[in-house]
Structure 1
Amino acid sequence: MQVVDPHIHLWDLKTHHYPWLASPGKSFVGDARDLKHDYLIKDYLSETGSVQVLKTVHVDANHDPDDPVEETRWLQQVADNEGRGLPNAIVAGADLSAENAHEILEAHAAFKNTRGIRQILNVHSNPLYNYVSRHFMRDAQWRTNFALLKQYSLSFDLQLYPSQMHEAAQLAQEHPDTQFIVNHAGMCVDRDSAEGKAEWRDGMKALAARPNVAVKVSGLAMFDHEWTVESFRPYVLETIDTFGCDRSMFASNFPVDRLFATYEGLWKAYASIVKHFSDTEKDALFKGNAERIYRI
């Protein structure tokens, strides 16, 4: 099986600072203490098994917020010198509400593999599920700086919850020339209730109505620790049905999903779910869309 993996994370704890790994704890997505070790490109490649990884996209690993550009600098060095060109694209971290956001974006964009920015937006009514404590999309400075992405030809990886999707769809409408990529199939965290699933479906449809929004089918194991192919199936198929085969792509979210899955296991599950799709559709989902959307 050949894949382009558009969502991986690497970290070197010997030389870099990741606050969430300095004092890791257990949360709804798993026990981060099991991730407190270096995870380098060689470690990632050692786990791919029979899956032939052609290209990868690195998404910010919540590196030191005081020096987000250092992560991009390191990743570019890895791609140039260690990783046989991997990662082929870098989605860097930046706080768009910061006064120096313009400077940070300019510095990220100077590296040849930089393709986009991710700033995690997840806010939930239950504090257990909060990643951040601010509604960044409602911040005037944040929205002003968001417009700078177009200037640097940067995409935006959109990590949020269903309750935030209509707000994000409006943002996408206001910035039609910026490519948005929804992370982790929209993170249907309230999946145990009919209302929660309905909110996810409705929000995903609102996002998919914007032609500049794509989606990554990834991170499903974070919410389904004892997953099976059948438990994954409705989220995979509904996501693809909503966005279409031309705006959906599979991704591993490794090593985070490694807490509950093997690399081969994840990709084989995806392949099993879409085995009846056409060869053209499968090529787009496993390789082509990631290459096109992340320009690699």
Structure 2
Amino acid sequence: MKVVDPHVHLWDLDAVALPWLMPAGEAYSGDNRRLPRRFLPADLIAQARADDIELLKLVNVEANPADPLAETRWLQTLADDGGFPQAIVAAIDFSQPDAAARLAAHAQSANLRGVRQILNVHADPRYDYVGRHYMTESAWRTQFGTLALLNLSFDLQIYPSQAPLAAELAARHPQIAFIVNHAGMCVDRDARGRREWRDGLRALAACANVSIKISGLAMFDHDWTVDSLRPYVLETIDAFGAARCMFASNFPIDGLHSSCGALWHAYADIVAGASSAERHALFVGNAERCYRI
């Protein structure tokens, strides 16, 4: 089974510090103390190969580093030496007055394709990442617009309650490609929460410049099965269509609750009835197109 993985977190804590892993502890996504100090392309490729998965290309998404530019430069060194990752999504904070200069510095790395700023806000402190509604801030929105000048995409990580505001942002910037992370992160899984998630998906999907990654589902479903993942996978594809969805592993985070092969084969089982062209798009083509690799 051949795949392009558009959401991986490579790291080496001796090279680039990740404050959230020093010291590690329990989080909603699992016990971070079980995560490795070093996770390199060879580690993921070996895991995948053992499960009969051929990883053709990888997209590294920033891992909330202490020094984002150091992370990007370290990743580019990996790519130059071994070919992986083929694309880099760097960390940025558009609330900083020098965000444009920081973007330009990241763009010196040949494999840079986009950036991410984690935007998740939630009333429950366990799920809240930033405690601040950046998308409502005028200075943040002004700096955000500089993305278009460098032809960079934006990895959008939000909760469903933030989807209407994110859809408005995407509509305001049709020239910027938005890529929603983790199937829109349906964290509140009661009837109201699932309805808010479904509505949010459709608000985002109404913008032609928005695509979505089906990933991170194990963060909210530690004892997942194919059947428990199925409604979230199919609802996402129903909202966006196979042409704007891509499967991703979110390793090593989702590796706390799954082997690499189990996850990829679960995705394949869920979409077994899709056409060969649709399956190619979901597992390979859409990631290549969205990240230009």
Provide Cα deviations, 1:190-215, integer angstroms capped at 9, x if missing partner: 01x11000000001100000000000
In structure 2, how many angstroms separate the alpha carbons of the residues matched to 1:276 and 1:44?
A: 28
In structure 1, how many angstroms separate the alpha carbons of the residues matched to 2:133 and 2:36?
A: 29
Provide Cα deviations, 1:1-25, integer angstroms capped at 9, x if missing partner: 0000000011111122111111222
Q: Are the structure 2 counterparts of residues 2 and 36 from structure 1 closer, same or farther at C-alpha, using a change threshold of 3 Å?
A: closer
In structure 2, how many angstroms separate the alpha carbons of the residues matched to 1:22 and 1:144?
A: 33
In structure 1, how many angstroms separate the alpha carbons of the residues matched to 2:283 and 2:42?
A: 22
Letter in 2 for 1:96: F
**Counterpart of 1:237?**
234
SS in 2 for 1:173: helix
In structure 2, how many angstroms separate the alpha carbons of the residues matched to 1:127 and 1:97?
A: 22
Contact 1:75 1:87 in 2 (8 A): yes
SS in 1 for 2:84: coil
**Counterpart of 1:273?**
270
Letter in 2 for 1:147: G
Provide Cα deviations, 1:211-246, integer angstroms capped at 9, x if missing partner: 000000000000000000000000000100100000
**Counterpart of 2:246?**
249
**Counterpart of 1:61?**
63
Contact 1:160 1:187 in 2 (8 A): yes
RMSD: 0.8
**Number of residue pairs the alignment of both structures matches:** 291
SS in 1 for 2:243: coil
Contact 1:17 1:63 in 2 (8 A): yes
**Counterpart of 2:225?**
228
Letter in 2 for 1:138: T
| Runs ≥4 residues deviating over 6 A | none
Contact 1:166 1:203 in 2 (8 A): yes
| Alignment TM-score, normalising by the size of structure 1 | 0.97
Letter in 1 for 2:222: H
**Counterpart of 2:97?**
99
- Deviation of the 1:295 alpha carbon: 0.4
**Counterpart of 1:31?**
31
SS in 2 for 1:147: helix
**Counterpart of 1:141?**
139
- Deviation of the 1:45 alpha carbon: 1.6
SS in 2 for 1:58: strand
Identity of aligned residues (%): 58
**Counterpart of 1:43?**
43
Provide Cα deviations, 1:89-124, integer angstroms capped at 9, x if missing partner: 000001110111111100111111000000000001
Alignment map for 1:186-201 (pairs within 5 Å): 186-191=184-189, 193-201=190-198
In structure 2, how many angstroms separate the alpha carbons of the residues matched to 1:178 and 1:237?
A: 26
**Counterpart of 1:86?**
84
In structure 1, how many angstroms separate the alpha carbons of the residues matched to 2:36 and 2:143?
A: 33
- Deviation of the 1:36 alpha carbon: 4.6
- Deviation of the 1:293 alpha carbon: 0.6
In structure 2, how many angstroms separate the alpha carbons of the residues matched to 1:242 and 1:100?
A: 37
Contact 2:15 2:74 in 1 (8 A): no
| Alignment TM-score, normalising by the size of structure 2 | 0.98
